[in-house]
Amino acid sequence: MTRDPDDLTELKERPRTEAEDLEDLALEEDYALNPEFVMQVDDALDRGDTDRLRELLAALRPEDIADLMGFLSADDREELLPHLDPEVLAEVLPELDTEIREDILEHLPSATLARALGEMDSDDAADVVDDLEAEQRAEVLAAMPEVDRAAIETTLAYDEESAGRLMQREVVAAPQFWTVGQTIDHLRRESDELPELFFDVYVVDPSYKPVGACPVSHLLRTKRDVPLAQIMEQVTEIPVDMDQEEVAYIFDKYNLISAPVVEPGGRLVGQITVDDIVGVIAEETEEDILALAGVSDAGRDAGVWGIVRSRLPWLMINTLTAAFAVSVIGYFQDEIVKLAILAVLMPIVASLGGNAGTQTLAVAVRALASRELSAANAVRTISREMTVGVLNGAALALVTGGVLYLLFRDVRLALAFGLALVINLFVAALAGALIPLALDRVGRDPAVSSSVFVTFVTDFTGFFAFLGLAALILL
Amino acid sequence: MTRDPDDLTELKERPRTEAEDLEDLALEEDYALNPEFVMQVDDALDRGDTDRLRELLAALRPEDIADLMGFLSADDREELLPHLDPEVLAEVLPELDTEIREDILEHLPSATLARALGEMDSDDAADVVDDLEAEQRAEVLAAMPEVDRAAIETTLAYDEESAGRLMQREVVAAPQFWTVGQTIDHLRRESDELPELFFDVYVVDPSYKPVGACPVSHLLRTKRDVPLAQIMEQVTEIPVDMDQEEVAYIFDKYNLISAPVVEPGGRLVGQITVDDIVGVIAEETEEDILALAGVSDAGRDAGVWGIVRSRLPWLMINTLTAAFAVSVIGYFQDEIVKLAILAVLMPIVASLGGNAGTQTLAVAVRALASRELSAANAVRTISREMTVGVLNGAALALVTGGVLYLLFRDVRLALAFGLALVINLFVAALAGALIPLALDRVGRDPAVSSSVFVTFVTDFTGFFAFLGLAALILL
């Protein structure tokens, strides 16, 4: 019996429908979670509809489940947890924001967590264990096989933002004298022991020091009888104690996909892959943005008190510096009483200086971070910034001075205002370039606290220059 | 005749010395260029010592030569160019900052440039050609082989920050029914036609639509007789017209190493690899930092006029908004004349509001960029920010109000100041969260121009709340 062709199409398409419809609903076109889908999960949780919940979760990749956690309340998250299998949990946990992860870890039974950790790469597992409270950590580690526990403990012995913490211990290495064919045979034999993904086979000498690297795609395209020594490329070794920001810089600069990590003696101990680096770059630049805005490191999903703690200290410091800066106004109270327009105009001078200083500061901080600003070109950069400061100051002075003259028909007022602007924008450029350079030179992060200094300098200069010039010229 | 063992060591070590010493000198421990090395290059250029110059350049990788260009003056760069071979030039050009590259391109003979372009991947070549002036572009394209020219022109037809521009057209694809062995044999046969590096073999159906991907390392570890269909993994397709910021988000979210790019019909047209994405992430976050600081996009190495153009417009807009904000002070001139301390204190209220608003703004802009803030949790985020605003305001009000009372023994002054602070920090939180959300909702970049709005709101509110309350309570 022949089937109707229409029937056939239906038959071919029907089995995809249910699950695929959910998958289509789950993500918007830009792969962000669909708010409507989040509401359906919320709804299933509220109704305690376990079957629907599992259906919804099955439509998500682990990374999407991690996103979902960020959109749920703490209670809903707790309720969702038992419905995730350990293998899924192993992929979800590394993707979570720290605050949410800490919250979730508190509610996970140690046995479940130990099983999930067993499924992870050593670097991810160490990160998770690091988030645990002492008591829970001991329980979880005790529930793990000896070999996994040892790997995690070794990784945790390295500094928190070092290459040693970032690397995975699982690498593929081969001696120099092997051929492509021998290497491929070895990989096929040891398939179960290999890392899930790898991009280079490191060629090592007898003391296990890397002497070169063969990109996996070169192995695939080369004839079996060619020795590795003939096709291997130069390696960029990463010392195990290097800071992750430097590692990211090196990966970005040389467009690396993976790099061997070596101990002080030069022995290969692990590898870092570029997908770890993508996270580091995002993290480090984000830290710069927040630091420049005066926000200390607090998870974005911290509670209200966490946020207050991350911001109030900077506001307190700003209050102090602002108090110093405005104290200069106190000396000119007589002038202000005589000519109240000074009080109206002075914040403009201070504020424009602050804005110009922030511009220079942001450019300098980024140039330092990407190593484009250093001792080799510091003088050139600073003098260029000062020139820009004077030019921008002069342009603003002409425009605003002109407007002031038209409004008040007072050349001296316009002159005092314009001159103060030029002075303050010059000082702003100087402070905006010098302060981050100085912080960097003494080994501090130039993004942290430089805004406070720059704003203080431009506030103080703005008030002092304008009121001082006004007292000299006008009164 | 036997040699003395000491002699032998010398013999083994001597040949490395000269070149290796230079390589050691070239880079500092963190792989940044050594200022002393830059000076030696400068020196060789000044003396016209070609041999020394070539020796020095030979110690650098192409990426380091690109860095070096950033530390040299325009004249020195021009002098250096003839000493770079086209193959080296092909690797240096893609690594240069736009401004420096444009400058260099102007001084390159079209024939040299055409040869260098022939050595590049299609995406890099298109980027360079895009920087050329119309006349030079025509000349260079005319000097290239037809097939390379066509590839470049097709790439340039895509939007500037789209997946189509980011992708390379060179991909490795295989039909579903091939085995691992057939695939490897094919790669060895076609070795010359393959991209220099690749990380996935895309499995395609008869209409060249991707149905899966085999990571290269899976091909290596799998036995020859296994069909690709059995080991292939889910692919994340990138539409050719997707914005590069979204592509970067997807790579980061799913930890991708490479992804197939497809035309509207679903046909495979190219691939994007993670090393392209590392650049995009750095670029996009950098744009956010600069935009928040009121710096329009200008190459960091633009000349003085380029920098002025990138900053003056924002300062002009700031002058306008500041003028509006301070105009409110004008209405309280009588109060200020009666009580000059008001003029001293009012900038503190405005400035702390500005700082608090900037904190919220930076957090909101980053949360929007990483898709952690969306319609699904906007209300929760905004109300959390408002709570934080009130709490921080109250804390600052208590401390500063207390100090003011101790200084002036005036409860009403302290009360007016404290209340104004609470109001302004509340408004700052609201503005800092709502303004970027609103800009995002109407399809604008929330990092651009939101600082101006927020500062205007907090300046205005700060002056108005403090002076208004002072007028009500004090006078």
Q: Residue B322: which of A281, A288, A351 has the nearest Cβ?
A: A351
Q: List for chain A the helix, strand, coil content (%; round to 5).
A: 70, 5, 25
Using a cut of 0.90, tell me whether the model's pTM lies above it. Answer: no
Q: Which residues of B touch A355 (CB under 8 A)?
A: 294, 314-315, 318
Nearest chain B alpha carbon to A353:
B315
SS3 A174: strand
B393 burial class (0-12, 13-18, 19+ CB within 10 angstroms)?
buried
Radius of gyration of chain A (CA): 30
**What pLDDT is attached to residue A7?**
41
Collect all residues with Cβ–Cβ distance below 8 Å to B440 and sequence separation of at least 6: B368, B446
The alpha-carbon gap from A336 to the nearest alpha carbon of chain B, in Å, equals 7
Q: What is the mean pLDDT of residues B14-37?
A: 77
pLDDT score of A431: 96
Instruction: Check if the beta carbon of residue A76 is closer than 8 Å to that of residue A104.
Output: no
Q: Is the pLDDT of residue B370 over 70?
A: yes
Considering only CA atoms, which of B445, B346, B295 is closest in space to residue A357? B295
What is the average pLDDT across B91-120? 88
Q: What is the DSSP letter of A61?
A: -
Of B278, B376, B463, the CB nearest to A35: B376
Position A2 scores a pLDDT of: 41
Q: Quick one: what percent of chain A has pLDDT higher than 90? A: 48
Q: How far is B6 from chain A, CA to nearest CA, in Å?
A: 23
> What integer best gives the mean pLDDT of chain B?
88
* Binary contact (A351, B198; C-beta < 8 A): no
- Residue A5's alpha-carbon distances to A16, A17, A51, A94, in angstroms, are 18, 19, 35, 48
Point out the least confidently predicted range of A460-474, B77-91, B421-435.
B77-91
Give chain B positions within 8 Å (CB) of A388.
304, 307-308, 311
- Closest-CA distance, B107 to chain A, in angstroms, reads 23
pLDDT at res. A4: 43
Cα separation, A122 vs A144, in Å, equals 13
Interface contact flag, A187 B220, Cβ < 8 Å: yes
Question: Distance between CA atoms of A379 and A365, rounded to whole angstroms?
Answer: 16
- Select the residue from A33, A124, A200, A221 to test the B interface by mutation, using most B Cβ atoms within 10 A: A221
Enumerate the residues of chain B whose CB falls inside 8 A of the CB of residue A322.
347-348, 351-352
Q: Which residue of A25, A123, A217, A274 is the best one to mutate when testing the B interface, meaning the one whose CB has the most B CBs within 10 A?
A: A217
Give every CB contact of residue A84 below 8 A, 6+ residues apart in sequence: A57, A65, A92
| Across B401-417, average pLDDT | 93
- Contact: A363, B290; criterion CB under 8 Å: yes
Say if the Cβ atoms of B217 and A223 lie within 8 Å.
Answer: no
Of the candidates B418, B330, B428, which has an alpha carbon nearest to the alpha carbon of residue B386?
B428
Which residue, among B294, B254, B298, has the nearest Cα to B272 in the 3D structure? B254
Burial class (CB in 10 A: 0-12, 13-18, 19+), A122: buried
Rounded to whole angstroms, how far apart are CA atoms B80 and B45? 7
C-alpha distance from B395 to closest chain A C-alpha (Å): 8
pLDDT digits (tens, 9 = 90+) for B31-78: 888 888 999 999 999 998 999 999 999 989 999 999 899 888 888 999
- Give the model's pLDDT for residue B7: 41
| DSSP secondary structure code for residue B142 in this structure | H
Residues of A in contact with B278 (CB under 8 A): 251-252, 255, 274, 277-278, 281
Of B220, B376, B395, which has the smallest distance from its Cβ to A71's Cβ?
B376
CA A363, CA A361: separation in Å to the nearest integer? 5
The reply to whether residue B278 touches residue A282, judged by beta carbons under 8 angstroms, is no
Q: Is A348 in contact with B323 (Cβ distance < 8 A)?
A: yes
Give the confidence band of B15 by pLDDT, cuts at 50, 70, 90: low
pLDDT in tens, B142-196: 999 888 888 888 899 999 889 999 998 889 999 999 999 999 999 999 888 888 7
Tokens representing B6? Answer: 């000491």
**How many angstroms away from the CA of A348 is the closest CA of chain B?**
6
Amino acid B121: pLDDT: 81
Tell me which chain B residues have a C-beta less than 8 angstroms from the C-beta of A372.
70, 97, 300-301
Report the residue of chain B nearest A288, measured CA to CA: B289
The pLDDT value given to residue B2: 41
Which residue in B94, B135, B142 sits closest to B116, CA to CA? B94
Alpha-carbon distances, residue A394 vs A347, A350, A361, B155, B326 (angstroms): 18, 16, 20, 44, 21
Interface test with B, best of A93, A251, A297, A363 (most B CBs within 10 A): A363
pLDDT tens digits for chain A (475 residues)? Answer: 444 444 434 334 445 567 778 888 888 877 888 888 999 999 999 998 999 999 999 989 999 999 899 888 888 999 999 899 888 999 999 888 877 888 889 888 888 899 999 888 888 899 899 888 888 899 999 999 888 888 888 899 999 889 999 998 889 999 999 999 999 999 999 888 888 789 999 999 999 999 999 999 899 889 999 999 999 998 999 999 999 988 998 998 888 999 999 999 999 999 999 988 888 887 888 888 888 888 886 555 567 888 888 889 999 999 999 999 989 998 998 888 888 899 999 999 999 999 999 999 998 988 888 777 877 678 888 898 999 999 999 999 999 999 999 999 999 999 999 999 999 999 999 999 999 999 998 988 888 889 989 999 999 999 999 999 999 998 6
Cβ contact A219–B220 (<8 Å): yes
d(CA A280, CA B250): 16
| Cβ-based neighbour number of residue B151 at 10 Å | 19
Residue type, A98: T
CB atoms B255 and A63 under 8 Å: yes
Q: Where are the alpha helices (DSSP H) in B72-160?
A: 74-80, 86-92, 98-106, 110-118, 122-130, 134-142, 146-156
Judging contacts by C-beta atoms under 8 Å, the chain B residues touching residue A304 are 384, 387-388, 391
Report the SS3 class of residue A260. strand
Name every chain A residue with its beta carbon within 8 A of the beta carbon of B191: 221-222
Residue carrying the six token digits 């081969």:
A174
Contact in structure between A333 and A467 (CB atoms under 8 Å) = no
pLDDT digits (tens, 9 = 90+) for B244-271: 988 998 998 888 999 999 999 999 999 9
Note the pLDDT of residue B298.
58
What domains are defined for chain A? 17-162 (1.25.60.10), 173-292 (3.10.580.10), 304-473 (1.10.357.20)
* ipTM for the assembly: 0.78
Contact present, A170 and A122 (Cβ < 8 Å): yes
Query: Which residue in chain A has the smallest CA separation from B236?
Result: A31
Distance from CA of B465 to the nearest CA of A (A): 15
Supply the pLDDT for residue B17.
64
The 10s digit of each residue's pLDDT in B290-345 is 888 888 865 555 678 888 888 899 999 999 999 999 899 989 988 888 888 999 99
Cα-based distances in Å from A405 to A399, A415, A463: 10, 9, 20
- Pick B295's closest partner by Cβ from A274, A278, A363: A363
Taking one residue from A and the other from B, the number of pairs with CB-CB distance under 8 angstroms is 344
Average pLDDT over residues B87-113: 88
Token pair in block for residue B284: 């996009």
pLDDT computed for residue B299 by the predictor: 55
Encoded tokens for B228:
């690709």
Nearest to B204 by CA among B268, B262, B256, B269: B268
Nearest CA in chain B to A308: B388
Which amino acid appears at position A95 of this protein?
Answer: E
A63–B459 CB contact, under 8 Å = no
Residue of B263, B274, B371 lying closest to A28 (CA atoms): B371
Phi, psi dihedrals of residue B349, rounded to the nearest 5°: -60, -45
Nearest CA-CA partner of B421 in B401, B450, B451:
B401
Contacts of A387 in chain B (CB under 8 A): 304
User: What DSSP line would sit under B207-242, residue for residue?
Assistant: TS-EEEEEEHHHHHHS-TTSBHHHH-B----EETT-
Angstrom distance (rounded) from CA B469 to CA B421 = 11
Q: Token pair 């296994």 is at which residue?
A: B226
